[in-house]
Amino acid sequence: MLRVRPIHFTSRMEPWERLLTDLGLAKATDDGSWREFDAGSGRLALHQAEAGAAEDGSTVFGVEVGDLEEFARRTNEASAETGTAPAELVRADHGDSCRIMGADGFSFFADKAAHGANGADADPALAVVEVWFTEDAAAAANTLRSIGARFRPVPDDDETADFTAKNGGVLMVRVGSGPARSGLGFEYDGDLDTLRDRLAAAGHDVSMTEEAFGRTLHVANPDVAGEPASGSHVPPTLWVSARRPA
């Protein structure tokens, strides 16, 4: 199995939970400082951070798998064909995991899923999206192929690549300058105007932009409501893009 599961670190857990609930995610786990929310496709974890800490407002790219050893074996077999770095079973701070290292120095963890998806109460049109920003988009795309992500054609042919995970969520590769980094967003396969109205009625600051290949809804980021949670790495809004046809 493969499921998108980024981890967002924040000192504003309650505003984040309210936004995620209003977006249409369903809370699956609540251990106080660790909460998980299932979308119609994919999962997002919130992790408590100290206000003003370097990690406050940041998102860590990550996935969930069924069996770590089998995942590592299959990834390494695929890596031998694509020339990407192999997967490594490690003992991380949070327990047993599998680390995948990209050619650009970007690394992420695949963790064993603690439970199945609990998205019965989630908006089925909403998907969690995690983004890998890199100067080497081709190598990043090959790494995602190696872990079992499914390539999804998009209408534009610039240096980007979209993938889906078998058990939910979207992974994107986008060209970015400087050190490789991760990003967080959402995708909506439904009426974006209805979602905008729903969020506005719940008290969220929202706006819409028209772009070459679709529309994007922008929602005020809870991390920068009032005083910024940390440095300039925290974006002022979260984006929800309309699902683009192939």
Query: Greater confidence, 229 or 99?
Result: 99
Strand order in the sheet with 59-60: 26-30, 34-38, 43-48, 7-10, 59-60
State residue 244's pLDDT score: 73
Among the listed residues 48, 43, 60, 55, the one whose alpha carbon sits nearest the alpha carbon of residue 15: 48
b/e sequence 2-39, b meaning 16+ C-beta within 10 Å: bbbbbbbbbbbbebbbebbebbbbbbbeeeeeebbbbb
pLDDT-derived band at 230 (thresholds 50, 70, 90) equals: very low
Residue 231 reports pLDDT greater than 70: no
- Asked if residue 92 has pLDDT above 50, the reply is yes
Residue type, 219: V
Angstrom distance (rounded) from CA 107 to CA 36: 22
Fold of 2-63+115-242: 2,3-Dihydroxybiphenyl 1,2-Dioxygenase; domain 1 (3.10.180)
State the average pLDDT for the chain: 91
* Of 41-50, 136-145, 188-197, 208-217, minimum mean pLDDT range: 208-217
Residue 73 is predicted with a pLDDT of 94
The rounded percent of the chain whose pLDDT value lies above 70 is 93
Token pair belonging to 205 = 């600051």
Q: Can you name the residues that pair with 112 across neighbouring β-strands?
A: 65
CA distance 242 to 212: 12
User: How far is 84 from 100, CA to CA, in rounded Å?
Assistant: 10
Give the residue extent of every domain in the chain.
2-63+115-242
Global pTM value: 0.93
